C-alpha cells in the first residue's frame, strides 16, 4: 500500500512523457528550421532578354475598319506597352523580387499556431516497461489509457546569426537590382527597335514609290518606242529593248511593294497592333540632335548610363555574394526557437506551458561538398566578369560604329541629292535624243538604271542618317531620356 501513491505518480509521469512524444512529430512539422547543409536555396536568374524577343509583341485592342495613322512616337509608346521583350523583362523583375522575398524569409521570424486534441492508449511494454515477474515494473499494467491530450500552442522560430542566409539575401538583392536594370535596358532597346523599324518602313515605302515611278516611266518609254517604230523612225530592236526594260521595272516595283508590306507587318507585330488592323505611317520624323561630343566622351557616358552594363556588374556582385554564402555554410549559426501554449486533458483544465531553446549549429564534416560548391562559385564569378568585360567592349564598338555610320551617312546625304537630280536630267536628255531619232534607247535604259541607283543611294543616305543618329543615342544609353525630351515629359 505504501507503494501505491508512488505507482500512480510514476504512471502519471510516464503518461505525460508519452504524450509529449506523441505530439513531438507534429511540433517538428510546424517548427521552422534553417535549411540543411545539403539544401541549396532557389536563386533568381535575371539574365538579359534575348534580342529576338523584341521582334514579338502582344496584340492589344480591337480591330477597326478605319485606317489608323501611326506616328513614330505613338509606335514607340505602343511598343513600350505591348512589346514582348519589355513584358518579359518586366515579369523577370517580378520573379526576381519574389525569389528575394523567399530568401529573406530565412532571416525573419516565423510564427505558427497549432490547436490539437488527441485520444490515445499506450502500450508501456513497447517502451521497456514490461510486467515480467521480478522486475521493478512487475505490477504495472501494459496498457495505459484511453486518455485525452489537448494542446493549443504558438511556435516562434528566429535566426539569430546565419552568415550563409545573410549573404544569400545580399546575392538576391543584387539579382533584383540586375533584373530592374535589365527592364530599363529592355525599354531603351525597344525604343531603338521600334524607331528603327519605323524608319525602315518609311525607307521601304520610299523605295516602293520610286519603283512605281520608274515603272511608269518605263511604260511611257515603251509606248513612245512603239509610236516611233510605227513612224519608221527607230528599228524594232528598240521596241524590244523598251519592253524588256518595262518588264524589269515592273518586277522591281512588285518586289519593292512586297518588301514594304512585309516590313509593315513586322512593325505591327513589334508594337502589338490588333491582328489585321490597317494602318499607315506619318512620314514626319522628329529632328534628332547630333551629339556634339567626342568618341571618348560618348563611351564614358555609355559606361556610366547603360543599364545593361550596370546589370552585368550587379550580376558579378551577386555571384560574389553567393560565394560568400557558400563559405558561410561552413560557419556556426545561431537560432532561437520558442513555443507557448496550454496543455491538459481537456480545454477546461489545460495549463500554460512554454519552451525556449537557443541552438548553435556547427558544421563538422560535409564530405568536401562546400569545397566543390566554392569551385563552382569561382567559375561562375569568372563567367560573370567575362560577360561584363565583353559587354563593356561591345558598348565601345557599338558607339564607335555609330560614329562611323553618322559620319559616312552625313557625307553620303550631302551628295546623294545632287546625284539624283543629275541622274534625272540625264534621263530627260536621253529621252529627248531618242525621240529625235539621233540615239537609240540604249542611252535611255542606261539613264533609267542611273536614276534607280541614284534614288536608292539617296533613300539609303536619307534614312541611314536618321538611323545613325538613333544608333548613337542608343549606344550612349539615352533613348528613353531623348523620348521624354521629344514628347515633353515622362510617359
DSSP string spanning 389-448? HHHHHHHHHHHHHHHHHHHHHHHHHHHHHHHHHHHHHHHHHHHHHHHTTSS-THHHHHHH
Going by C-alpha positions, the residue among 487, 483, 469 that lies closest to residue 298 is 469
Do 242 and 312 sit in the same domain of this protein?
Answer: yes
The DSSP element (H or E) to which 471 belongs, if any, is: helix 442-475
Longest dimension (CA), the chain: 150
From first to last of the 491 residues of the chain, give the pLDDT tens digit. 444 444 444 444 444 344 433 333 333 333 333 333 333 444 444 446 677 788 899 998 889 999 999 999 999 999 999 999 999 999 999 999 998 988 888 888 999 999 998 888 888 777 777 655 555 655 667 788 788 889 999 999 998 888 888 998 999 999 999 999 999 999 999 999 999 999 999 999 999 999 998 899 889 888 888 988 888 877 888 889 889 989 999 999 999 999 999 999 999 999 999 998 999 999 988 888 877 889 999 999 999 999 999 999 999 999 999 999 988 888 898 999 999 999 988 888 888 999 999 999 888 887 788 889 999 999 999 999 999 999 999 999 999 999 999 899 988 888 888 888 888 888 888 888 878 777 777 888 888 888 888 888 888 888 888 888 888 888 888 888 888 887 764 44
DSSP 26-94: HHHHHS--PPPTTPPPP----PPPPGGGGG-B---S---SS-EEE-HHHHHHHHHHHBHHHHHHHHHHH
In a domain, 39, yes or no: no
pTM: 0.78
DSSP state of 233: S
Same domain, 377 and 301: yes
The answer to whether residues 396 and 468 belong to one domain is yes
Same domain, 321 and 424: yes
Structural domains counted in the chain: 2
Same domain, 181 and 146: no
Same domain (yes/no): 343, 397? no
Question: Would you state the torsion angle of the CA atoms of residues 463, 466, 471, 472, taken in this order, to the nearest 10 degrees?
Answer: 150
Cα 36–chain centre separation: 32
Residues 378, 384, 386, 390: what is their CA dihedral angle, to the nearest 10 degrees? Answer: 180
Domain containing residue 219: CATH number: 1.20.1600.10
Domain of residue 117: give its range.
1-30+108-161+331-365
Q: Is the domain of 62 the same as that of 196?
A: yes
- Cα 234 from chain centre: 67
Q: Are residues 73 and 210 in the same domain?
A: yes
197/321 same-domain check: yes
Do 268 and 358 lie in one domain? The reply is no
Same domain, 231 and 338: no
CA–CA dist 418, 213 (Å, integer): 19
Q: Which H or E element spans position 113?
A: strand 110-123
Task: Please tell me whether residues 323 and 403 are part of one structural domain.
Answer: yes
CATH number for the domain spanning 153: value is 2.20.200.10
What are the b/e assignments for 357-369, b being 16+ CB within 10 Å? eeeeeeeeeeeee
The closest alpha carbon to 452, from 238, 205, 221, 218, belongs to: 218
Amino acid at each position: 500500500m505504501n507503494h501505491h501513491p508512488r505507482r500512480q505518480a510514476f504512471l502519471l509521469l510516464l503518461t505525460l512523457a508519452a504524450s509529449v512524444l506523441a505530439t513531438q512529430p507534429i511540433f517538428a512539422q510546424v517548427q521552422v528550421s534553417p535549411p540543411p547543409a545539403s539544401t541549396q536555396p532557389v536563386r533568381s536568374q535575371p539574365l538579359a532578354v534575348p534580342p529576338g524577343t523584341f521582334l514579338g509583341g502582344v496584340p492589344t485592342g480591337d480591330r477597326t475598319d478605319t485606317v489608323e495613322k501611326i506616328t513614330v512616337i505613338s509606335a514607340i509608346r505602343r511598343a513600350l506597352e505591348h512589346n514582348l521583350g519589355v513584358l518579359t523583362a518586366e515579369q523577370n523583375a517580378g520573379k526576381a523580387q519574389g525569389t528575394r522575398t523567399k530568401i529573406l524569409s530565412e532571416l525573419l521570424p516565423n510564427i505558427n499556431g497549432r490547436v490539437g486534441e488527441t485520444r490515445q492508449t499506450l502500450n508501456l511494454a513497447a517502451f521497456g516497461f514490461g510486467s515480467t515477474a521480478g522486475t521493478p515494473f512487475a505490477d504495472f499494467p501494459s496498457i495505459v489509457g484511453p486518455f485525452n491530450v489537448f494542446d493549443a500552442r504558438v511556435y516562434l522560430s528566429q535566426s539569430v546569426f546565419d552568415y550563409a542566409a545573410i549573404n544569400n539575401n545580399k546575392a538576391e538583392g543584387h539579382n533584383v537590382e540586375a533584373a530592374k536594370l535589365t527592364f530599363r535596358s529592355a525599354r531603351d532597346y525597344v525604343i531603338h527597335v521600334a524607331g528603327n523599324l519605323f524608319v525602315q518602313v518609311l525607307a521601304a515605302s520610299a523605295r516602293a514609290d520610286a519603283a512605281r515611278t520608274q515603272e511608269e516611266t518605263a511604260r511611257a518609254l515603251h509606248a513612245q518606242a512603239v509610236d516611233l517604230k510605227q513612224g519608221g523612225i527607230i528599228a524594232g530592236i528598240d521596241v524590244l529593248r523598251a519592253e524588256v526594260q518595262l518588264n524589269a521595272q515592273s518586277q522591281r516595283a512588285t518586289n519593292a511593294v512586297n518588301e514594304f508590306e512585309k516590313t509593315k507587318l513586322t512593325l505591327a507585330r513589334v508594337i502589338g497592333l490588333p491582328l489585321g488592323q490597317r494602318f499607315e505611317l506619318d512620314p514626319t520624323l522628329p529632328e534628332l540632335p547630333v551629339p556634339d561630343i567626342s568618341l571618348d566622351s560618348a563611351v564614358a557616358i555609355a559606361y556610366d548610363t547603360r543599364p545593361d552594363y550596370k546589370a552585368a556588374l550587379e550580376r558579378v556582385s551577386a555571384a560574389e555574394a553567393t560565394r560568400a554564402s557558400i563559405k558561410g555554410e561552413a560557419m556556426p549559426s545561431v537560432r532561437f526557437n520558442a513555443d507557448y501554449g496550454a496543455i491538459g486533458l481537456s480545454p477546461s483544465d489545460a495549463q500554460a506551458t512554454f519552451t525556449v531553446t537557443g541552438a548553435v549549429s556547427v558544421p563538422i564534416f560535409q564530405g568536401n561538398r562546400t569545397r566543390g560548391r566554392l569551385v563552382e562559385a569561382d567559375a561562375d564569378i569568372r563567367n560573370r566578369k567575362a560577360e561584363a568585360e565583353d559587354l563593356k567592349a561591345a558598348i565601345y564598338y557599338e558607339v564607335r560604329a555609330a560614329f562611323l555610320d553618322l559620319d559616312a551617312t552625313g557625307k553620303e546625304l550631302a551628295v546623294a541629292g545632287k546625284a539624283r537630280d543629275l541622274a534625272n536630267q540625264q534621263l530627260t536628255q536621253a529621252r529627248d535624243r531618242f525621240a529625235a531619232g539621233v540615239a537609240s534607247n540604249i542611252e535611255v535604259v542606261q539613264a533609267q538604271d542611273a536614276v534607280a541607283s541614284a534614288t536608292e543611294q539617296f533613300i539609303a543616305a536619307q534614312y541611314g542618317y536618321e538611323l545613325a543618329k538613333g544608333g548613337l543615342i542608343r549606344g550612349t544609353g539615352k533613348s528613353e531620356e531623348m523620348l521624354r525630351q521629344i514628347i515633353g515629359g515622362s510617359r
